[in-house]
Amino acid sequence: MRSWSAPDIVRLPGSGGPLRIHDTVTGAQRTTNPGATARMYVCGITPYDAAHIGHAFTYLTFDLVNRVWRDAGHAVDYVQNTTDVDDPLLERAQATGEAWRDLAAREIQVFREDMEALRVLPPRAYVGVVESIGLIADFVAKVRESGAAYELEGDVYFSVEAAEHFGEVGGMSREEMLRLFGERGGDPDRPGKKDPLDWLLWRAERPGEPAWESPLGRGRPGWHVECSAISLNELGMGFDLNGGGSDLVFPHHEMGAAEACKATGSHPHAQNYMHVGMVGLDGEKMSKSLGNLEFVSRLREEGADPMAVRLAMLPHHYRADWDWTSQGLEEARGRLERWRAAAGREAGPDAAPVLAEVRRALADDLDTPAALAAVDAWAERAEAGAGDDPAAPALVRDTVDTLLGVRL
């Protein structure tokens, strides 16, 4: 489906170094090593509520990865899905009486506008599930041919005992996996399954639910299978980075990796896995069930500068859990004003060290607090009248725009 418009990117002088990240699988820092084109897949939203701040923080994080790789001289082939048919979407549509397709289309459009406002670089392929039913069904058929799937009352399940590398993405105990599977959309207690951790690949048609013809019978895909099918179709096996929120480590990425390995007979699904911390609201976990969500679209409607919204997320390291607060947004407004004032001066202190420090900080597992500190220090000196380099303000503007995605 249609992606969103790309912001302009200025090419900075020189180039940045290789990106080091915290890899979920090894639990260690690893230097990413993409070829000329870095291949990245990030799990998209289920469009029944557009982007709350937690989602935005995830896409902002992978936008920084995208920017750092480009600055290091790579092309980036970025793919994102959108889960435009799944249980939570259908339940919301049922509850409000809206047609599920209309609900999905509207929320996807709000999401595109949010991403454009936040200057997030668009994916090359933005792929919906509904438009991918055929390739997902073919993928499930491949998994079945590998012997890793079985039928249960017309539904198709993945048999966890068939997966050689199961557990390697999250490194969790079976007890923990069982608990999370139950909490995050799984069905550990369904009678007839060979193992409680077996998961749904294809759901046979139920009365009142959408369904599509396929060689597996009429039905629709399970959640995990969409991302493995779409990522393989767009990027192939062993792509450079698979990413999402930390709540996707298990079951979503673990199960998706197991499917992709079975369908292709190769390993791994992705070279690196990166997961982003959860964002709370004023001291509580942001969740749909608690109803305490803050949305990018609502902040935009209230007139918040999207660059201040972006800047309010950047002081938080991507792996940390943190809280969105109105005070955090106020502080970001203040910082944006200070940076704009300093970068609007006719001259300032030499900015080459600022570019070097922002590059160094971001390449070091996206150390955004250190990157902001470098710009803060320059802005403070510029405002104090230090330095007389007439090229410095423009270089700081370009650095902040290209690497941090904040237009001054």
Give the residues lining the site for Zn ion (CB under 5 A).
43, 227
Euclidean distance between CA atoms 197 and 185, whole angstroms: 12
Nearer to Zn ion, 16 or 243 (CB): 243
How many other C-beta atoms lie within 10 A of the C-beta of residue 138? Answer: 15
Q: Could you tell me the smallest distance in angstroms from the CB atom of residue 81 to Zn ion? A: 6
How far are the Cα atoms of 15, 62, 142, 218 from residue 137, in angstroms, in the given order?
Answer: 43, 29, 9, 10
> What single-letter amino acid sits at 136?
I
Beta strands 279-281 and 322-324 are parallel
Nearer to Zn ion, 52 or 269 (CB): 269
Q: Could you tell me the smallest distance in angstroms from the CB atom of residue 228 to Zn ion? A: 8
Q: Could you tell me the smallest distance in angstroms from the CB atom of residue 224 to Zn ion? A: 7
Nearer to Zn ion, 43 or 371 (CB): 43
Q: Could you tell me the smallest distance in angstroms from the CB atom of residue 86 to Zn ion? A: 11
According to the 3-state scheme, what is the secondary structure of 96-152?
Answer: HCCCHHHHHHHHHHHHHHHHHHCCCCCCCEEEECHHHHHHHHHHHHHHHHCCCEEEE
Q: Could you tell me the smallest distance in angstroms from the CB atom of residue 6 to Zn ion? A: 23
Beta strands 239-245 and 37-42 are parallel
Q: Could you tell me the smallest distance in angstroms from the CB atom of residue 252 to Zn ion? A: 5
Q: Could you tell me the smallest distance in angstroms from the CB atom of residue 257 to Zn ion? A: 11
Nearer to Zn ion, 54 or 349 (CB): 54
Plot region of 385 (φ>0 → left; ψ -120 to 50 → alpha; else → beta)? left
Nearer to Zn ion, 247 or 323 (CB): 247
Q: Which residue has the tokens 């405002």?
A: 383
Q: Could you tell me the smallest distance in angstroms from the CB atom of residue 42 to Zn ion? A: 8
Nearer to Zn ion, 115 or 351 (CB): 115
Nearby residues of 309 by Cβ (< 8 Å), 6 or more positions away: 56, 117, 118, 296, 299, 300, 329, 332
Could you tell me which of 229, 246, 250, 253 has the C-alpha nearest to residue 135?
Answer: 229
Q: Could you tell me the smallest distance in angstroms from the CB atom of residue 102 to Zn ion? A: 23
Nearby residues of 94 by Cβ (< 8 Å), 6 or more positions away: none
What end-to-end distance do the CA atoms of the chain give, in Å?
31
Nearer to Zn ion, 43 or 403 (CB): 43
The distance from CA 297 to its chain's CA centroid, rounded to whole angstroms, is: 18
Nearer to Zn ion, 273 or 378 (CB): 273
Q: Could you tell me the smallest distance in angstroms from the CB atom of residue 254 to Zn ion? A: 11
Nearer to Zn ion, 278 or 362 (CB): 278
Nearer to Zn ion, 65 or 227 (CB): 227
Nearer to Zn ion, 43 or 51 (CB): 43
Q: Could you tell me the smallest distance in angstroms from the CB atom of residue 394 to Zn ion? A: 40
How many other C-beta atoms lie within 10 A of the C-beta of residue 118? Answer: 22
Could you tell me which of 220, 229, 247 has the C-alpha nearest to residue 85?
Answer: 220
Backbone angles phi, psi at 272, to 5 degrees: -140, 150
192, burial (CB in 10 Å: exposed 0-12, middle 13-18, buried 19+): exposed
